[in-house]
Structure 1
Amino acid sequence: MSKKKQNLRDLTTQEHQGEHLDVGGQNHSSPESPGKLKTYLPAIFSFVFLIVGIGWDYFDAQFFQSWIRIVWYVAAYLPVGLPVIREGWNSIINGDFFTEFLLMSIATMGAFAIGEYPEAVAVMLFYAVGELFQNAAVNRAKGNIKALLDVRPNEARVYRNNDYISVSPESVAIGEKVQVRVGEKIPLDGILLSEKGSFNTAALTGESKPDTIVKGEKVFAGSINLDGVIEIETTKEFKDSSIARILDMVQNATARKSKTELFIRKFARIYTPIVVYLAVALTFLPYLFVDEYIFQDWLYRALIFLVISCPCALVISIPLGYFGGLGAASKNGILFKGASFLDEMTKVTTVVMDKTGTVTKGVFKIKDVVISNGALSARLPDGQEAEMMKYLMAMEEQSTHPIARAIMEYKADGDTFQASEVSEIAGKGLKGTVNGKTVLVGNKALMTSNNLEVPVETDNIVESIVMVSIEGKLAGYVTIADELKEDAHQAIEQIKASGISKIIMLSGDKDSITQQVAKELGMDWAKGGLLPEDKLNEVEKLMSANNNRLAFIGDGINDAPVLAASDVGVAMGGLGSDVAIETADVIIQTDQPSKFAKAVRIGRSTRRIVWQNIGLAFGVKAVVLILGAGGVATMWEAVFADVGVALLAILNAVRLQNMKWN
Structure 2
Amino acid sequence: MEHQHTYDAQGRQLCCTREEKINSNVETMEHQLDHDGHNHSHDHHSGDGWFGLFLPAIISLTLLLVAIALDIWISQDWFTGWLRIIWYVLAYAPVGFPVIKDAFRSIARGDVFSEFLLMTIATVGAFAIGEYPEAVAVMLFYAVGEVFQTLAVSRAKTNIKTLLDQRPDEVTILNGNQPQIVRAEHVSIGSIIRLKPGEKLGLDGELLSEKASFNAAALTGESKPDTRTKGETVLAGMINLHTVSQVKVTTAYTDSKLSKILEIVQNATSQKAPTELFIRKFAKIYTPIVVFLAIAICLLPIAFVDHYEFKEWLYRALVFLVISCPCALVISIPLGYFGGVGAASRNGILFKGSNFLDTLARIQNVVMDKTGTMTEGVFAVQEVAFNETFNQAEILQMVNALESQSSHPVATAIHQYVGDSVTNIPLEKTEEIAGYGLKANVNGKELLVGNFKLMDKFGIAYDIDHSNIVYTLIAVAYDKQFVGYIIIADSIKEDAQETIDKLHSLEVKTTMLSGDKGTVVKFVADKLGIDRAFGDLLPEDKVKKIKEIKAKNETVAFVGDGVNDAPVVALSDVGIAMGGLGSDATIETADVVIQDDKPSKIPMAINIGKQTKKIVWQNIGWAFGVKAIVLILGAGGLATMWEAVFADVGVALIAILNAVRIQGMKF
TM-score normalised by structure 2 residue count: 0.81
| Identity of matched residues, % | 56
Which amino acid counterpart does residue 486 of structure 1 have in structure 2?
E
Residue 546 of structure 2 is matched in structure 1 by 539
Which amino acid counterpart does residue 19 of structure 1 have in structure 2?
E
Whether the 8 Å CA contact 2:574–2:592 is kept in 1: the answer is yes
Cα offset, 1:85, TM superposition = 1.9
Please give the alpha-carbon distance, in whole angstroms, between the structure 1 residues aligned to 2:396 and 2:179.
42
Residue 143 of structure 1 is matched in structure 2 by 158
Residue 249 of structure 1 is matched in structure 2 by 264
Cα offset, 1:567, TM superposition = 0.2
Task: Please list the CA deviations of residues 67-102 of structure 1 after superposition, one character each: whole Å capped at 9, or x if unmatched.
Answer: 333233223222222222222222223332221111
Whether the 8 Å CA contact 1:176–1:234 is kept in 2: the answer is yes
> Residues 465, 533 of structure 1: CA spacing in aligned structure 2 closer, same or farther, 3 A cutoff?
closer
SS in 1 for 2:358: helix
SS in 2 for 1:231: strand
> Residues 282, 443 of structure 1: CA spacing in aligned structure 2 closer, same or farther, 3 A cutoff?
closer
> Residues 561, 165 of structure 1: CA spacing in aligned structure 2 closer, same or farther, 3 A cutoff?
farther
> Mapping of 1:319-468 within 5 angstroms?
319-365=334-380, 400=404, 402=409, 405-406=412-413, 460-464=468-472
Would you say 1:37 and 2:51 are equivalent positions? yes
Residue 481 of structure 2 is matched in structure 1 by none
Please give the alpha-carbon distance, in whole angstroms, between the structure 2 residues aligned to 1:532 and 1:465.
19
Please give the alpha-carbon distance, in whole angstroms, between the structure 1 residues aligned to 2:472 and 2:636.
80
SS in 1 for 2:370: coil
SS in 1 for 2:147: helix
Task: Please list the CA deviations of residues 367-386 of structure 1 after superposition, one character each: whole Å capped at 9, or x if unmatched.
Answer: x6799xxxxxxxxxxxxxxx
Cα offset, 1:154, TM superposition = 2.7
Which amino acid counterpart does residue 238 of structure 1 have in structure 2?
Y
SS in 1 for 2:557: strand
Please give the alpha-carbon distance, in whole angstroms, between the structure 2 residues aligned to 1:127 and 1:601.
34
> Residues 510, 532 of structure 1: CA spacing in aligned structure 2 closer, same or farther, 3 A cutoff?
same
Cα offset, 1:506, TM superposition = 0.5
Whether the 8 Å CA contact 1:465–1:479 is kept in 2: the answer is yes
Please give the alpha-carbon distance, in whole angstroms, between the structure 1 residues aligned to 2:648 and 2:25.
27
Task: Please list the CA deviations of residues 416-450 of structure 1 after superposition, one character each: whole Å capped at 9, or x if unmatched.
Answer: 999889999x9999xxxxxxxxxxx999999xxxx
Would you say 1:495 and 2:510 are equivalent positions? no
> Residues 151, 350 of structure 1: CA spacing in aligned structure 2 closer, same or farther, 3 A cutoff?
same
SS in 2 for 1:325: helix
Would you say 1:581 and 2:587 are equivalent positions? yes
Residue 292 of structure 1 is matched in structure 2 by 307
> Residues 172, 370 of structure 1: CA spacing in aligned structure 2 closer, same or farther, 3 A cutoff?
closer
> Mapping of 1:8-157 within 5 angstroms?
9=19, 18-20=26-28, 32-59=46-73, 61-63=75-77, 64-157=79-172
Which amino acid counterpart does residue 145 of structure 2 have in structure 1?
G
Cα offset, 1:163, TM superposition = 6.1
Please give the alpha-carbon distance, in whole angstroms, between the structure 1 residues aligned to 2:368 and 2:143.
50
Residue of structure 1 aligned with 2:653, choices 630, 635, 647: 647
Please give the alpha-carbon distance, in whole angstroms, between the structure 2 residues aligned to 1:586 and 1:12.
28
Would you say 1:523 and 2:530 are equivalent positions? yes
Cα offset, 1:494, TM superposition = 0.4
Please give the alpha-carbon distance, in whole angstroms, between the structure 2 residues aligned to 1:239 and 1:535.
36
Please give the alpha-carbon distance, in whole angstroms, between the structure 2 residues aligned to 1:166 and 1:92.
53
Please give the alpha-carbon distance, in whole angstroms, between the structure 2 residues aligned to 1:239 and 1:12.
29
Whether the 8 Å CA contact 1:177–1:233 is kept in 2: the answer is yes
SS in 2 for 1:95: coil
Cα offset, 1:188, TM superposition = 2.7
Residue of structure 2 aligned with 1:567, choices 550, 566, 573: 573
Whether the 8 Å CA contact 1:147–1:203 is kept in 2: the answer is no
> Residues 453, 544 of structure 1: CA spacing in aligned structure 2 closer, same or farther, 3 A cutoff?
closer
Task: Please list the CA deviations of residues 150-181 of structure 1 after superposition, one character each: whole Å capped at 9, or x if unmatched.
Answer: 31343455566886655555555554544434
Residue of structure 2 aligned with 1:551, choices 553, 557, 574: 557
Which amino acid counterpart does residue 41 of structure 1 have in structure 2?
L
Please give the alpha-carbon distance, in whole angstroms, between the structure 2 residues aligned to 1:156 and 1:60.
66
Residue 613 of structure 1 is matched in structure 2 by 619
Cα offset, 1:355, TM superposition = 0.6
Task: Please list the CA deviations of residues 297-321 of structure 1 after superposition, one character each: whole Å capped at 9, or x if unmatched.
Answer: 1111111111011110110111111
Whether the 8 Å CA contact 1:17–1:142 is kept in 2: the answer is no
Whether the 8 Å CA contact 2:167–2:201 is kept in 1: the answer is no
Task: Please list the CA deviations of residues 604-662 of structure 1 after superposition, one character each: whole Å capped at 9, or x if unmatched.
Answer: 1111111111111111111111111111111111111111111111111121112221x
SS in 1 for 2:248: strand
Gaps of 5+ in 1: 372-388, 430-440, 447-451, 469-475
Please give the alpha-carbon distance, in whole angstroms, between the structure 1 residues aligned to 2:337 and 2:438.
55
Whether the 8 Å CA contact 1:242–1:576 is kept in 2: the answer is no
Cα offset, 1:498, TM superposition = 0.6
Please give the alpha-carbon distance, in whole angstroms, between the structure 1 residues aligned to 2:511 and 2:316.
60
Residue 435 of structure 1 is matched in structure 2 by none
Residue 236 of structure 2 is matched in structure 1 by 221
Query: How many pairs were matched up?
Result: 614
Please give the alpha-carbon distance, in whole angstroms, between the structure 1 residues aligned to 2:411 and 2:664.
48
Whether the 8 Å CA contact 1:12–1:252 is kept in 2: the answer is no
Gaps of 5+ in 2: 6-12, 386-391, 431-436, 440-448, 456-461, 477-483
Whether the 8 Å CA contact 1:28–1:35 is kept in 2: the answer is no
TM-score normalised by structure 1 residue count: 0.82
SS in 2 for 1:571: strand
SS in 2 for 1:285: helix
Residue of structure 2 aligned with 1:481, choices 489, 495, 517: 489
